[in-house]
Chain A
Amino acid sequence: MAHPSTPQPYKYTLAERLYLPLLSGMWVTLRHFIGNVFGRRKSYTIQYPEERRGYSPRFRGHHILTSRPDGSLRCVACFLCATACPAECIHIEAGEHPDVNIEKYPVVYDIDMLRCVFCGYCVDACPEEAIIMSNNYDMAFFDRASSIVTKDELQKPFTYDPAQLGYRPRYPEEDAQRAQAREQVRAGTLDLVAEARRRHGEAQDTSAASAS
Chain B
Amino acid sequence: MIGESWVTTTVDKLEEWGQNNSLWPLPFGTACCAIEFMSVVSSHYDMARFGYEVVRFSPRQSDVMIVAGTITDKMGPTLKRIYEQMPDPKWVVSMGACACSGGFYRAYHVMQGIDEIVPVDVYVPGCPPTPEGLMYGILQLKEKIKRDTRRRLKEKRADSDDSGSAAA
- Cβ of B97 within 8 Å of any chain A Cβ, yes or no, is yes
Q: How many whole Å from A28's CB to the nearest CB in chain B?
A: 16
Closest chain-A Cβ to B126's Cβ sits at a distance in Å of 6
Q: Which of B122, B130, B139 contacts A137 (CB 8 A)?
A: B130
Q: How far is the CB of A68 from chain B (nearest CB, A)?
A: 28
Q: Does A144 contact B (CB under 8 A)?
A: yes
Could you say which of A48, A49, A53 has the most chain B C-beta atoms within 10 Å of its C-beta?
Answer: A48
Contact with B along A43-67 (1 / 0, CB 8 A): 0111111001101000000000000
Say whether B106 faces chain A, with CB atoms less than 8 Å apart: yes
Question: Chain A interface mostly helix, strand, loop or mixed?
Answer: loop
With A48-B45, A48-B135, A137-B133: A117-B122 Cβ-Cβ less than 8 Å: no
Interface string of B18-61 (1 = CB under 8 A from A): 00000000000000000000000001111001000000000000
Query: Which of A107-115, A123-131, A180-188 is the interface stretch?
Result: A107-115
- Is A140 at the interface (CB under 8 A from chain B)? yes
Contact of A118 among B44, B106, B121, B126 (CB under 8 A): B126
Size bin of chain B's contact surface: 20 to 34
A2 CB to nearest B CB, Å: 39
A138 within 8 A of B: yes
A139 touches B126 (CB 8 A): yes
Nearest A residue (CB) for B101: A114
Residue of A48, A52, A115 near B103 (CB, 8 A) is A115
Interface contact B132-A137, CB-CB below 8 Å: yes
Q: Which residues in chain B, 99-119, are within 8 Å of chain A measured between CB atoms?
A: 100-104, 106, 113, 115
- Docked pose: A55 CA to B132 CA in angstroms: 11
Q: Do A46 and B97 touch across chains, with their CB atoms under 8 A apart?
A: no
Name the CB-closest residue of A to B43: A44
Q: Which residue of chain B is the closest to A113 with respect to CB atoms?
A: B125
Interface contact B122-A141, CB-CB below 8 Å? yes
Contact B132 A142 (CB under 8 A): no
A147 with B125, Cβ < 8 A, contacts A140-B137, A142-B144 known:
yes
A137, B126: Cβ atoms closer than 8 Å: yes
Query: Does B127 sit within 8 A of A, measured CB to CB?
Result: yes
Query: Using Cβ atoms and an 8 Å threshold, which residues of chain B touch A53?
Result: 44, 132
User: Is residue A34 within 8 Å, beta carbon to beta carbon, of the partner chain?
Assistant: no
State whether the Cβ of B136 lies closer than 8 Å to any Cβ in chain A. yes
Q: CB-CB < 8 A to B83: which residues of A?
A: none
Contact of B127 among A44, A45, A55, A117 (CB under 8 A): A117
In contact, B123 and A140 (Cβ under 8 angstroms)? yes
5 nearest A-B residue pairs (beta carbon) = A87-B104, A117-B127, A114-B100, A140-B137, A114-B101
